[in-house]
Amino acid sequence: MGMTEELVSWTHEQKCRKAVTSLEKNGFTAHYCHTPQDATEYITTHAVDAVTIGFGGSMSVVALGVEMLLREQGKEILNHGPATFSRDQKMDIMRRQLTCDLFLSGCNALTLNGELVNIDATGNRVGAMLFGPRKVIVVAGRNKLVDGSPQDAIERVKAWATPPNSKRLNFKTPCAATGFCSDCTSPDRLCRVTTIIDRKPRFTDLHVLVVNAEIGF
């Protein structure tokens, strides 16, 4: 790593650590991960006692490659993502995610004040983040950090997360075609449920991993 890369990484680390400190003040269990591998190790360690593990459809979690590792450990994986599943099968899995032992998710945006901001089309992911699973682990890469308000974070989601997600899911939305949010009225509109978690929900064991790497959208 050259000097420029080291300095950039150092700068990102300070922002990541500030977010971790803010999250802890807001009641979350927060952990700084210097590399994605650190996040993978954290998840596999905290999954030891879990029998059922739900996946919220996060590309950040996919990037960590933990699903295969957890399958090899004999865990029951609740992933509604495969295209071969029928709608009823997907719905059944999403409902089971709400009461799983461990739920894994990404975060669309994380403010330096320790606020988690997410936008869903269905609400299954944010629902499971708020209440139900015995433990929730949220992964946020440094590209998700926002030095501003929750409204700034929402704008970050609509500018940088929703367009690629809509394109990935083959949704027929303007942003999937242009890459820009137009606050559309499309039947495929992804932006339907917006949540701001500014304090740890009372009965949810919610962990947030802030990773010094660009992962996910």
CA distance 139 to 97: 17
If pLDDT is split at 50, 70 and 90, which confidence band does 2 have? confident
Summarised one tens digit per residue, pLDDT across range 68-103 is 999 999 999 999 999 999 999 999 999 999 999 999
Contact of 53 with 75, CB cutoff 8 Å: yes
If pLDDT is split at 50, 70 and 90, which confidence band does 147 have? very high
If pLDDT is split at 50, 70 and 90, which confidence band does 1 have? confident
Contact of 153 with 117, CB cutoff 8 Å: yes
Residue 202 CB coordination number (10 Å): 7
Tell how far CA 72 is from the center of its chain: 23
pTM, full prediction: 0.97
Mean pLDDT for the stretch of residues 42-61: 97
Class of domain 3-211 (CATH, top level): alpha beta
Domain ranges of the chain: 3-211
Three-class DSSP category at 177: helix
Q: Any bridge partners for residue 105, and if so which?
A: 138
Q: Name the one residue in this structure whose structure tokens are 């083959």.
A: 170
